[in-house]
Chain A
Amino acid sequence: MKKVLRSLLLCLTLVVVLGVVTACSDPLSMLTGANNANANNGEVIELADNTEIPEDGVIKAAQFRSIAGKDRTVTFTGKSNGVEYIWSFNGKNIKNPQDQNLKIDVVTASEDLNKVKTLANSAPEGIGVTIKQTSGFVTVPRLTLKTGKKWDVNAGIFLKYIKKDNKVTKISTVTFDKQVQDQTVMTFNVTQGGDTYYAVCGKSGSSEPTAQDGNTTGGSSSSSTSESSSNGDGSNTVTISISCATVLNNMDKLNNSKKEFIPADGWILQPTQVTFTEGQNIHDILQKVCQEKGIQMDSEFTPAYNSAYVRGINQLYEYDCGDLSGWMFKVNGWFPNYGASQYNVKGGDVIDWVYTCDLGKDVGDNSQY
């Protein structure tokens, strides 16, 4: 009797264990779930088409989950310093919802703003926005500013001011709403946060603002049309580049045996047009172009993130240039918060593989800080 009971208990335990294992199809995700801050319970809060930004500015991950993966655009509105601002998020590229702080402070006049205007080809008009979101965006949102004033402008760029070097780098192009007559309404893509950014405007031709393209980390002038809209342009080519320019500033940290694999200008692959077939992701494109050009590339599939992880390109591996080094990718200037196998490319995308020596900070990704 006792023996039967014991074996029964054993069977029951076995069934329970098996059940748990099969129910959780990806056992690793249980371990890594903690990484997705407050995102592990899978709670969904439906988002309205337009939401007012709350006092603390935070839109919950649960709210973004309601639009994640869907081709649906929602807007969030707020007001600062007399300027009304509207964020629009499209859910299509959201794979990994996170809390987002959408509060911004608008700066209409400051010393830095004047400096930026001077640097950007002495642009006549400009406005600064301090974006509170410090750890990257879940997708590329568009920010619309209703300035309240009418400026006599028709061209503008959204840029970042790097105080240390006293220079500006372009993030995206500003478009204007020509329908509105009484004030200037401008819209631009935002790919990063955590700093004060500036939108400077002028007249096309004479006082058109200029800035170094933020995508050209390699240094040489790039002809890439980094200004693709998030909708794609319908063609079946994308632009891909591979650059390790950050290593040039950290040669002292570089593993000695890898020195000869660093090109003098940092470009392992100059921006190159490649064709793709529907459904290919960024990792596929990289693999294809590397095989075609004979560039060594090493990646491994990581089940926990359901994506490939690129360990090394052209013999330059993770950790080869300090403990915080490795390969990252950006699409149209934005560092997605998910893996390269999860992003399906579309026509006109500009893919940049960049080597970081500082966990992304030196290539313009703040998501780890």
Chain B
Amino acid sequence: MDQFSTYHPAINFFYFAGVILMAMFFNHPVMMAEALFAAVLYSFFTLGTEKALRFNLLAMVPILLIAVLFNPMFNHYGVHILGYFPNGNPITLESIIYGFVMGVMLVTVIIWFSSYNKVMTSDKFVYLFGRMIPALSLILSMVLRFVPRFKKQLEVISNGQKCIGRDVSSGNLIERAKHGVRIISIMITWALENAIETADSMRARGYGLKGRTAFSIFRFDNRDAIAAILMGLAFGITCIGLALGAGAVQYNPYFKAAGINPVTPLSLLTFICYFLFCLSPVIIDIMGDYRWRRLRNSQETGISMTGADESLRNAMFGTPTSDENNITDAERMSKGKIKLWT
């Protein structure tokens, strides 16, 4: 599971702001490859393997292909002419490459945002910005939740309509269309009302007033400080490297990128730091996973429980049956009966 989301919201936000802005403004092929790799990898941690696979393959690959196909149809710059369209404009290698670059950029940013939605929940966002910019942060947190929330509500409404035989799947074509329109109408009514209700309830709770605390309380502890320093260092070096021209790239009229041929120390350092920055949540997750496994192994090798612990465990999980009596806690844990016991 994702450990990075348990870090302080400021670090979560700093990370996503950093990677999304970098992905949008720098299209150096090495950096894009790193960002795409990290985004896809991290999406497996945030979305879960099955959903991430489905999302990346079924939604992102087609977007990439469309970008690759469409760019050469409308742009004809480039010195490598591969052929000609029926209207006489050249098909160039450069425009295809740039289409691919645009597609990768788009896909990377979308995947980052899908992770962002899982990690930066509304309460975290409001905790960060609720006092600085109360109105804007409320709107932003509502807007950023807009699509997933609407999708969920749409399902609720259409299930409700299905119960009274008015779903889009029943009736002839005209009836179906009518039902669809009705569902959307209910949806919009709900959305408008919900927006006002949200605003009212926030006001009723004194949102934006002086001295008001947030719903969730986060503590900036040592773990967060270490992560902030390391991530800030990687990001800072990347920024300096980019400012010195390590990310310079040109796709029009021909492809030319800094620091690829030959590889310069500056560009190498920049790319490594950027890669580490992009991968930092994955590194944190893997490290956390590793630590958990080590702790479990150390329990298996002999640390037994005291009597008090034993009785507490029995109170919580019931008295062990006779054949379970001889099983150690570690074995029980590995079977998944006890999640975490220290």
Contacts and interface: CB of A to CB of B under 8 A. Distances in A.
A296 B88 contact: no
B76 interface: yes
Interface string A307-326: 00001100101000000000
A258 B88 CA distance: 23
A299 B253 contact: no
Contacts of B89: 297-300
A287 B88 CA distance: 7
A257 B250 contact: yes
B79 A315 contact: yes
Contact of A291 (B77, B79, B88): B88
A256 B118 CA distance: 43
Interface residues of B, number: 15
Contact of B253 (A291, A297, A301, A315): A315
Contact of B76 (A257, A291, A296): A296
Contacts of B79: 296, 315
Contacts of B78: 296, 315
A297 B77 contact: no
A279 interface: no
Contacts of A299: 88-89
A294 B78 CA distance: 12
B253 A261 contact: yes
With most chain B CB atoms within 10 A of its CB, the pick from A298, A300, A311 is A298
A315 B78 CA distance: 7
Contacts of B253: 257-258, 261, 296, 315
B203 to A, nearest CB: 40
A279 to B, nearest CB: 16
A261 B81 CA distance: 16
B43 interface: no
A258 B253 CA distance: 7
Interface in A341-358: none
Nearest to B76: A298
A256 to B, nearest CB: 9
B247 interface: no
Given A296-B253, A298-B77, A299-B89, 19 more contacts: A287-B88, A291-B88, A294-B81, A296-B76, A296-B81, A296-B92, A297-B76, A297-B88, A297-B90, A298-B75, A298-B89, A298-B90, A300-B89, A311-B76, A312-B77, A315-B77, A315-B78, A315-B79, A317-B77
Interface of B: 75-79, 81, 84, 87-90, 92, 250, 252-253
Q: Which 8 A-B pairs have the closest CB atoms?
A: A298-B76, A315-B253, A287-B88, A257-B250, A296-B90, A298-B89, A315-B77, A296-B81
